[in-house]
Amino acid sequence: MSGLTIHKGQNCQFTQTLAPMKRNNRKEAKQTVFFTNPVHIVTANAVVGNKEAQGPLKGYFRRIKEDIKLGEKNFERAEILMFDEAVRTAFNEAKPIVGDVQLLISGDLLNQMTTSSYVARNLQLPHLGVYSACSTYTEALSLGSVFLDAGHFDTVACATASHFATAERQFRYPLEYGCQRPPYAQWTVTAAGCCVLSSKGTGPLIKSATLGKVVDFGQNDLSNMGAAMAPAAMDTMCALFEETGLQPDDFDMILTGDLGKLGSDILRDLMREQGYTLGQNYHDCGCLIYSVDQNCYQGGSGAGCSASVINEFVIPRLCSGEYRRVAYLATGALMSTQSCYQGETIPCVSHGIIMEGE
Amino acid sequence: MSGLTIHKGQNCQFTQTLAPMKRNNRKEAKQTVFFTNPVHIVTANAVVGNKEAQGPLKGYFRRIKEDIKLGEKNFERAEILMFDEAVRTAFNEAKPIVGDVQLLISGDLLNQMTTSSYVARNLQLPHLGVYSACSTYTEALSLGSVFLDAGHFDTVACATASHFATAERQFRYPLEYGCQRPPYAQWTVTAAGCCVLSSKGTGPLIKSATLGKVVDFGQNDLSNMGAAMAPAAMDTMCALFEETGLQPDDFDMILTGDLGKLGSDILRDLMREQGYTLGQNYHDCGCLIYSVDQNCYQGGSGAGCSASVINEFVIPRLCSGEYRRVAYLATGALMSTQSCYQGETIPCVSHGIIMEGE
Interval A3-55: pLDDT, tens? 333 333 334 445 666 666 654 444 557 999 999 999 999 999 999 999 999 99
Q: Using 50, 70 and 90 to split pLDDT, how confident is the model at B329?
A: very high
Contacts of A213 (CB under 8 A, 6+ apart): A31, A232, A235, A236, A349, B120, B123, B124, B125, B126, B127
Q: How far apart are CA A201 and CA A98, in angstroms?
A: 6
Q: How far apart are CA A15 and CA A287, in angstroms?
A: 40
Q: What is the pLDDT of residue A282?
A: 97
Residue B18 has pLDDT above 90, yes or no: no
Substitution target from A214, A222, A229 for chain B, most B beta carbons within 10 A: A214
pLDDT digits (tens, 9 = 90+) for A279-319: 999 999 999 999 989 999 999 999 999 999 999 999 999 99
Q: What is the pLDDT of residue B3?
A: 35
DSSP conformational letter for A182? P
- Least confident residue range of A199-213, B24-38, B114-128, B290-304: B24-38
Q: Using 50, 70 and 90 to split pLDDT, how confident is the model at B314?
A: very high
Residue B335 has pLDDT above 60, yes or no: yes
Residue of B13, B123, B131 with shortest CB distance to A131: B131
Distances (CA, A) of B152 to A36, A43, A140, B36, B91: 11, 26, 17, 14, 19
Q: Using 50, 70 and 90 to split pLDDT, how confident is the model at A173?
A: confident
Name the average pLDDT for chain A. 92
Q: What is the pLDDT of residue B49?
A: 98
Distances (CA, A) of A285 to A52, A252, B357: 12, 15, 49
Percent of all residues in chain B with a pLDDT value above 90, rounded to a whole number: 85
Give the A window 165-204 contacts with B, CB below 8 Å.
170
Q: What is the pLDDT of residue A181?
A: 87
Q: What is the pLDDT of residue B307?
A: 98
* Cβ–Cβ under 8 Å, residues A196 and A141: no
Chain B residue with minimum CA distance to A20 = B122
Question: Nearest 5°: phi and psi at B154?
Answer: -95, -30
**Chain B residues close to A220, C-beta within 8 Å:** none
The number of C-alpha atoms within 13 Å of B189 and in the hemisphere containing its C-beta is 38
pLDDT digits (tens, 9 = 90+) for B50-69: 999 999 999 999 999 999 99
Q: How far apart are CA B176 and CA A293, in angstroms?
A: 49
**Chain B residues close to A149, C-beta within 8 Å:** 150
The reply to whether residue B339 touches residue A76, judged by beta carbons under 8 angstroms, is yes
Q: Using 50, 70 and 90 to split pLDDT, how confident is the model at B10?
A: very low
Question: Nearest 5°: phi and psi at A312?
Answer: -100, -20
Apex CA B188: angle with CA B186 and CA B190, to 5°? 150
Number of CB atoms found within 10 A of residue B131's CB:
28
In sequence order, what E strands does chain A have? 32-34, 40-49, 63-65, 103-108, 127-129, 155-162, 187-188, 191-198, 205-210, 253-256, 282-284, 300-301, 325-333, 348-356
A115 at interface of B, judged by CB pairs closer than 8 A? no
Q: Report the amino acid identity of residue B88.
A: R
Residue A231 has pLDDT above 50, yes or no: yes
Reported as type and span, the H/E element at residue B231 is helix B225-244
Residue B12 has pLDDT above 60, yes or no: no
Residue A172 has pLDDT above 60, yes or no: yes
- Least confident residue range of A338-342, B99-103, B108-112: A338-342
Number of CB atoms found within 10 A of residue A261's CB:
19
The reply to whether residue A16 touches residue B342, judged by beta carbons under 8 angstroms, is no
Chain A residue with minimum CA distance to B24 = A100
Residue A69 has pLDDT above 80, yes or no: yes
Q: Report the amino acid identity of residue B296.
A: C
The reply to whether residue A112 touches residue B128, judged by beta carbons under 8 angstroms, is no
Name the average pLDDT for chain B. 92
3 state SS of B280:
coil
Contacts of B98 (CB under 8 A, 6+ apart): B42, B154, B155, B196, B198, B200, B201
Q: What is the pLDDT of residue B175?
A: 85
Count residue pairs from A and B with Cβ separation < 8 A. 244
Q: What is the pLDDT of residue A203?
A: 97
Distances (CA, A) of B295 to B55, B122, B183: 11, 37, 10
Q: How far apart are CA B146 and CA B33, in angstroms?
A: 8
A112 at interface of B, judged by CB pairs closer than 8 A? yes
Residue B312 has pLDDT above 60, yes or no: yes
* Cβ–Cβ under 8 Å, residues B197 and B141: yes
Apex CA A321: angle with CA A315 and CA A325, to 5°? 65
Residue B17 has pLDDT above 90, yes or no: no
Q: How far apart are CA B300 and CA B259, in angstroms?
A: 8
Q: Using 50, 70 and 90 to split pLDDT, how confident is the model at B21?
A: low
pLDDT digits (tens, 9 = 90+) for B141-191: 999 999 999 999 999 999 999 999 999 999 988 888 888 889 999 999 999
Give the A window 314-343 contacts with B, CB below 8 Å.
334-339, 342
Could you tell me if residue B151 is left (phi over 0), alpha (psi between -120 and 50 degrees) or otherwise beta?
A: left
Contacts of B138 (CB under 8 A, 6+ apart): B209, B257, B306, B328, B329, B330, B350, B351, B352, B353
The reply to whether residue A121 touches residue B215, judged by beta carbons under 8 angstroms, is yes
Give the A window 120-159 contacts with B, CB below 8 Å.
120-133, 139, 143, 146-147, 149-150, 152-153
Mean pLDDT of B211-236: 94
Percent of all residues in chain B with a pLDDT value above 70, rounded to a whole number: 92
Contacts of A302 (CB under 8 A, 6+ apart): A109, A134, A162, A163, A164, A167, A188, A189, A190, A191, A258
Percent of all residues in chain A with a pLDDT value above 70, rounded to a whole number: 92
Q: Using 50, 70 and 90 to split pLDDT, how confident is the model at B127?
A: very high
Q: What is the pLDDT of residue A110?
A: 97
Q: What is the pLDDT of residue A4?
A: 32
pLDDT digits (tens, 9 = 90+) for B34-47: 999 999 999 999 99
Sign of CA dihedral A52, A326, A91, B233: negative
Q: How far apart are CA A322 and CA A170, in angstroms?
A: 39
Distances (CA, A) of A101 to A93, A130, A199, A312, B331: 11, 18, 12, 20, 24
**Chain A residues close to B109, C-beta within 8 Å:** 112
